[in-house]
Structure 1
């Protein structure tokens, strides 16, 4: 069953259910950026929210689209249900009470049915929130913390853990690159190509692959430090975040004392 058929099947199964007041598409199917690899995100509005009865009705609707092989029912998020069918169609639904829908905007939803005209009462688009200063501060400190653990990984010969550290550094670098582009419609984690520039992609491709060997592990940490820290410092200045100067300084001192490692880039004025 293709995605349009899946959407229509679920719509037909639920549109006359009394306690379900509205069903919307969200995510890439709402903003027009879906492709053949997208999941199908729904927002369902029920009179009493995410009850067991509503979850059961959603299960019956999804089961009409194919054999359900994965079903996560309100586990990590109390209102979220994830499903995968045998053809690997992925459907996610957030189940809300009518008053909870106000957290969404018309820009983020596409109505499938809306018995109470809830969509008309939503704001047209979200108000730009600006940079998250607290989150960015945490990311900087986390990068320096993981970099500082290099001396531990090397000292214990924990090269596999050192590889995991490189992956953490890479994720933080990717988050920084996305922040630099300020791309709209970010979508899920599998949409990196449309979120960063060709130059940023070239930077990521140029960085060494993590290898569980001492010298390779050290070289990878330093390469990511050289790529991340100057850029993060510039970003911090732009958005008004105080740089953790003392933390970074003592981290480089520790790496110098234990591994003979120097800062791999010149400090900017």
Structure 2
């Protein structure tokens, strides 16, 4: 693929990224490639990339979308090889590090100017605040779904709440490049994974659904409080108290109070 992209007008460089670029791939890894070019060349480079990919294996799925100042192309071939191309302006590539990418085409040695590695990641206070408030909001919607007897919706709610607990764990990971969800076991601790695995997966039974919400809240809220304190984030006490009162008033269940105890 790199040879097919060589000498393309407007291509500044081409890098192997993701787990292959870091040298941490396994048999299930996809292929992540970063191309550097000015924005007016992004569409043409994406088209050339798909054409080169088609020459090697028929593309059965393709999705192309703007991604910030860049362009992201997801492709899957007939042999189910997953290939992602991210076309970026050169200036944005400075956020990478040498140990996160492998140069394929790099005539100006852009790779050589990168730092050796990225510093450990830290939790983003704004993102943590968003996760916490969304968790409380979704808990507050439980009485609505219960009142309407929307049990399938409540099953979905359990999975979304579990996802927020997962996101809270990921936010605490020091990995500079967190990759995707298919690398979850490399991002969170064994203890955190054990908690996620222990969470119930209820069917459309009212009692089981309420219990599942309670179990996830028991795991999420103390963890979120500790993280908020460490990051010096103001806890949404008023919102939590109003939501707890609302849930108790409508269902008789003291979910948030139980979790905070």
TM-score, normalised relative to structure 1: 0.88
Mark the CA change 1:120 to 1:182 in structure 2 (over 3 Å): closer, same or farther: closer
Q: Report how far residue 125 of structure 1 moved.
A: 3.0
Partner of 2:192: 200
The yes-or-no answer on 1:265 pairing with 2:259 is yes
Q: Aligned partners of 1:97 and 1:266: how far apart in 2?
A: 47
Q: Aligned partners of 1:122 and 1:266: how far apart in 2?
A: 45
Tell me if structure 1 keeps the 8 A contact 2:221–2:260: no
Tell me if structure 2 keeps the 8 A contact 1:82–1:93: yes
Q: Report how far residue 186 of structure 1 moved.
A: 2.4
Q: Report how far residue 212 of structure 1 moved.
A: 1.7
Tell me if structure 1 keeps the 8 A contact 2:72–2:85: yes
Q: Report how far residue 254 of structure 1 moved.
A: 1.1
Aligned-residue RMSD, C-alpha? 2.0
Partner of 1:4: none
Mark the CA change 1:106 to 1:165 in structure 2 (over 3 Å): closer, same or farther: same
Q: Aligned partners of 1:211 and 1:53: how far apart in 2?
A: 49
Q: Report how far residue 85 of structure 1 moved.
A: 0.2
Tell me if structure 1 keeps the 8 A contact 2:221–2:259: no
Tell me if structure 2 keeps the 8 A contact 1:49–1:97: no
Choose 236-245 or 176-185, whichever is displaced more: 176-185
Is the partner of 2:123 in helix, strand or coil?
coil
Q: Report how far residue 30 of structure 1 moved.
A: 1.3
Partner of 1:46: 37
Count of matched residue positions in the alignment of Structure 1 and Structure 2: 258
Partner of 1:230: 222
Deviations for 1:166-219, whole angstroms, at most 9, x for unmatched residues?
A: 111000111122234434542211111222222222222222113222112111
Mark the CA change 1:256 to 1:47 in structure 2 (over 3 Å): closer, same or farther: closer
Q: Aligned partners of 1:101 and 1:109: how far apart in 2?
A: 10
Tell me if structure 1 keeps the 8 A contact 2:218–2:260: no
Selected match of 1:245 from 216, 237, 242: 237
Q: What are the ranges of 5 or more consecutive residues in structure 2 without an aligned counterpart?
A: none
Is the partner of 1:211 in helix, strand or coil?
coil
Deviations for 1:113-164, whole angstroms, at most 9, x for unmatched residues?
A: 2112222233333345532111101110000000011110101101111111
Q: Aligned partners of 1:266 and 1:12: how far apart in 2?
A: 59
Tell me if structure 1 keeps the 8 A contact 2:214–2:259: no
Partner of 1:144: 136
The yes-or-no answer on 1:20 pairing with 2:22 is no
Selected match of 1:73 from 64, 79, 104: 64
Is the partner of 2:25 in helix, strand or coil?
coil
